[in-house]
Structure 1
């Protein structure tokens, strides 16, 4: 088969599937904004393209999001046309539609079967839209309309995709029935052979000191440190947590940018805003035990999880992070927010402990209880890993299901361009 992948940050969620298809002997090509020059990655021919058009001036704020997606869709359409002119005609196209790139691909290759990675449908109910009143306080009727319009991209893609894939039941369940019936729930997969417990793990901190399993290490990981992932809740819990656990070291991973949700005031970062909020309540000796690591290479990240005694994971009702499952695979004891996405991964008291997202006192209590109870930590860690191995293992479960999905997509009759 000839298979084309589309992802603005390739490989993204396709980092296992694309090379597996190439290894199986298929001709695999990827179009992406990530690179500047053509290259080969694990047997995948990676081709760059660029966005030329700038976002329009004077557009209504509610449609700015869709405007950026149409711009990217046009750029990808032009790149696809160039590929077609060179004689490339894919049997299958697999795309992440979240940034709009795949919007016009059926116009280029009407006979191709198109599979889409359905990550999230934006819900405008108060339960989702007003989840965190501190940052979503002005939820009037107009805000509901704006969020509804964010789904224009999803709606435009509905006639484009023949089949869909989504990593969790929660994420798939956000889509309306006419989307949901096309979607197979298959996680991207966790390499549980690589992410394992390691009693001999040693993690070097920026100051040159080393932490091991003998140290009382608490970990918190986000792609970027922001409210959507509970960074503000965790930071506000730090003064009490550091006071109650005088030997604990807190290791925080994440960038200064924004992945989801509102941006901070101009010239500021959420990271520094909440450091400034709590710093005055944390004595300097205690603050010296808090280490901001920024973004770290993957192998260092795995080692970080291996030295963690308690891993904290908080999120709005939103997509689940790979880092949660990787922490579980490394047998970390998890304290997580009792929000809907977590219910597939964490069974309270069995594979982790759940606390109300906003209850900092409960968060501190659960973390401290686990730090004091090695037997409970070990039991939770074993059960967490067993759950990941049984449900999210890359080699035995997820990748085979993804390859089956590809075969099913190939057997599907290609759709037609929607009006």
Structure 2
């Protein structure tokens, strides 16, 4: 068992963003504990990392008929669950630093449990339709949406009066916050493991679930769900056009046919089913597959000739950084979050994802210009090594954590929770 500093990582669904950083810290001697409300049961792994689950469903949730307060009530229940679960089962445990995924309420009780512990709020999103830079509304809104967003932001704003630091993974996401809060946020990338995610020019699709031994031109798309927020319907329209123009490529889609973000479709419907029903697609060259083990996923990225990453202005998927690090030629949407990582014709290609002609034309350009595409791939990989490699990112974060811990006042004597 490690005897180094103690860090507690709080997340609503499994370790998620904190998993790789936590494992890296554990290998460097930190005592790492994950607490979450997901499905995984309590455990301790070979690195000594403890994973604990708190049963939010067992908590008495606040009830309200006021629909705008539902998210606020859920965040309150989440924070209370963490607080009471600690007092019930883990009294006496005291971390040196806690990091919590902000917005769900999971970290709201940290100061009540450990007033002397350093606390970091990890921020992903602030719900607003206002562009704080221009002062303009991004899209038409309605009073119900505006009020719902206001209530969703209250638990997020509440983090700032208790956190010692506020971290956010991208500049685009940090800029969603109003200026007084934005000034308190440090932009620190999540990082990508560039040793694991690396190019391999010999890679090909040779799996039990799909074998393409002749190594045709390969178009790839990989994300959690097939949904409009990630541009899946638009991608399918461009693909239908491109399939009619040329026969020399295959397309592999790795995703669940479900919606992770945004409204759900009626029971029995999905965006994958809708695309197949509405578009004239050559199914012999289109391979819709579920999410695969990480080794298969990496090999697919390495074998890719052109990789699509589309998103509305929102949090970017880890898959974008992983694709760039793996040597993919990324064709991305010309939207804020993608433009932070992809410079047009330098580290990738930017397109209007709502224009199927432009999208299909640029995919075809990549297929037909392998030397130019290879130069773009190399620059993208180098950018990941220079700015986003997890080894360097994690070292910087660890240094910041140790600085925070070193400033903790002397707290000798028995620990008493403040309640």
Q: Shared fold by TM > 0.5?
A: yes
Residue matched to 1:134: none
Aligned pair 1:390/2:386, yes or no? yes
Query: Which shows bigger deviation, 288-297 or 63-72?
Result: 63-72
Gaps spanning 5+ residues in structure 1: where? 132-137
- C-alpha displacement of 1:325: 1.2
Q: Distance in 2 between matches of 1:296 and 1:25?
A: 32
Aligned pair 1:300/2:296, yes or no? yes
TM-score (norm 2): 0.89
- C-alpha displacement of 1:102: 1.0
- C-alpha displacement of 1:367: 0.6
- C-alpha displacement of 1:129: 8.1
SS of residue in 1 equivalent to 2:128: coil
**8 Å contact 1:204–1:210 — kept in the other structure?**
yes
Residue matched to 1:68: 74
Distance 1:328 1:89, change over 3 A: same
**8 Å contact 2:64–2:70 — kept in the other structure?**
no
Q: Deviations over 1:338-366 (max 9, x none)?
A: 00111221111111111113112111111
Residue matched to 2:44: 39
SS of residue in 2 equivalent to 1:79: helix
Give the alignment's Cα RMSD to 1 decimal: 2.3
Q: Distance in 2 between matches of 1:367 and 1:275?
A: 21
Query: Which shows bigger deviation, 55-64 or 218-227?
Result: 55-64
Q: Deviations over 1:168-209 (max 9, x none)?
A: 111112122333233221111111112111122132356542
Gaps spanning 5+ residues in structure 2: where? 410-416
Residue matched to 1:263: 264
**8 Å contact 1:113–1:412 — kept in the other structure?**
no
SS of residue in 1 equivalent to 2:69: helix
Aligned pair 1:118/2:126, yes or no? no
Residue matched to 1:26: 30
**8 Å contact 1:115–1:409 — kept in the other structure?**
no
SS of residue in 2 equivalent to 1:16: helix
Higher relative contact order (CA 8 A, sep 6+): 1
Q: Distance in 1 between matches of 2:42 and 2:254?
A: 31
1:2-401 pair list within 5 angstroms: 2-34=6-38, 35-40=40-45, 42-51=47-56, 52-53=58-59, 59-85=65-91, 87-125=92-130, 139-204=141-206, 208-211=210-213, 214-278=215-279, 281-282=280-281, 286-395=282-391, 397-401=392-396
Query: Which shows bigger deviation, 76-85 or 246-255?
Result: 76-85
TM-score (norm 1): 0.89
Distance 1:55 1:296, change over 3 A: farther
1:393-412 pair list within 5 angstroms: 393-395=389-391, 397-412=392-407
- C-alpha displacement of 1:260: 1.3
Query: Which shows bigger deviation, 32-41 or 319-328?
Result: 32-41
